[in-house]
Amino acid sequence: MKEIINHEFGGERPLYKSEDLHLTDVTIHPGESSVKECRNIHADRCRFEGKYVFWENDGVVCRDCVFAESARSSVWYSRNITYCNCQVDAPKMFRRATGIDLENVQIPHGEETFWDCSSIRLRNVQIAEADYLFMHSCDIDIQDYRQDGNYSFQYARNVVIHNAVINSKDSFWESQYCTLYDCEINGEYLGWYSKSLRLVRCHITGTQPLCYCENLILEDCTFGDDADLAFEYSTVEATVRSHIVSIKNPTSGHITVESAGEVIIDNNMKQPGDCEITILNNEKP
């Protein structure tokens, strides 16, 4: 493997079509497509300032690297990308990429990141300003995660998340086959129009959660004081280990809840309209 140590590059495509290259303490100054169409690139303690860094690459490993905010849209159309202990200040970082593995990574400007990506693994990752995160992405495995930003996981498929805090309005809309364990999910209109969304020991806040869902499953979940008008027009199997402000017009299934402020069944109920609701304690807490 060719070594480049303590060097600086700038301009357009300085390392274009490189293969088997190890960069150490290298700075890539503003420019475009600095490491485009490359194979087997390793970078240690490098700084990337230009945009479109790793386009159409196969095999990139970055350790202890920094991507400046100006390094926007840096990993598109690429495969087999690993980041460890990296600071990623750039937005729109990953698009139409596959085989993404991030560990101990901070992304403070994560808007429009992870679009149309597949085979994503995240461990101890924090993402802020994360509007429209994971749009149309699939096969996602996440643990020890925090996210702040709206409209996340829309149209996502085959997602498993453990131990996360997700602050996101309109998250998991039209998602399919997503399972969350031991997560805190805060934001309005959670999971609308989702299919096979499963929440296990999760805490849910925000108005009108989990409406228009198909094959929704909740196991031992809890709801916050603002999580009202839940389950409208959803097919659901749920055990709720807390009080819930209100349940409205679930379509079918079974809901067992510790206590409920109000159960609304009105003329707008959709067929079959046979959801069984069991309230264990009729007294409000």
53 has pLDDT over 70: yes
Averaged pLDDT of the chain: 96
Q: What is the pLDDT of residue 285?
A: 43
| Contact of 78 with 56, CB cutoff 8 Å | yes
Q: What is the pLDDT of residue 273?
A: 87
Q: What is the pLDDT of residue 15?
A: 95
Name which of 175-184, 200-209, 242-251, 274-283 the model is least confident about.
274-283
284 has pLDDT over 80: no
Whole-model pTM: value is: 0.95
Tokens of 15: 């390392």
Instruction: Tell me the mean pLDDT in the region 129-145.
Output: 97
CA distance 266 to 177: 30
- Among 211, 160, 208, 153, CA closest to 182: 160
Q: pLDDT tens across 165-180, in order?
A: 999 999 999 999 999 9
